[in-house]
Amino acid sequence: MKERFLRFMVGRYGIDTFAKFTIYSGMILLILSSLFTGHPIIRNLYMLSWLLIFYSYFRVFSRNIQKRYAENQWFLARTSKIRASIQGLKSRLLQSKTHHIYRCPSCKQKIRIPKGKGKIEIRCPKCGTTFVKKS
């Protein structure tokens, strides 16, 4: 069965970031529309959710690889700032378990210091200013 699907997918575009976004958005809208039924706007959300899901499957099974690639690049360019801020937030949350991040009082450079070392003197690598902080 897996081999048949792989043979079917040869020459087709497949899943990319934009396809994931459209299918997840469609699923979220579908769930929201099923929770709040009866209102005309909700019916529009229901139709929009199915349109997004069908469009994402259309993109996945499409043979026009260049056009789907261009659509994905357009999407990535439009969402780069949002994705970068989310990635930075994730990175800061992971680092906060093992490190403190301080700013140099003179040049405002971020300096990462490991936790659990007590009071230490920190020397800024950018401007050379030293200051004391608890790690």
Cβ-Cβ contacts under 8 Å for 15 (sequence gap 6 or more): 60
| Spatial distance between the Cα atoms of 126 and 82, rounded to a whole number of angstroms | 28
Quick one: tokens of 25?
Answer: 């958005």
- Summarised one tens digit per residue, pLDDT across range 84-101 is 999 999 988 888 888 988
Cβ-Cβ contacts under 8 Å for 21 (sequence gap 6 or more): 75
pTM over 0.85: no
- Summarised one tens digit per residue, pLDDT across range 29-65 is 999 888 887 777 777 888 999 999 999 999 999 999 9
Domain residue ranges of the chain, discontinuous segments joined by +: 2-78, 99-134
Quick one: tokens of 55?
Answer: 């469009």
3-class state of residue 127 by DSSP: coil
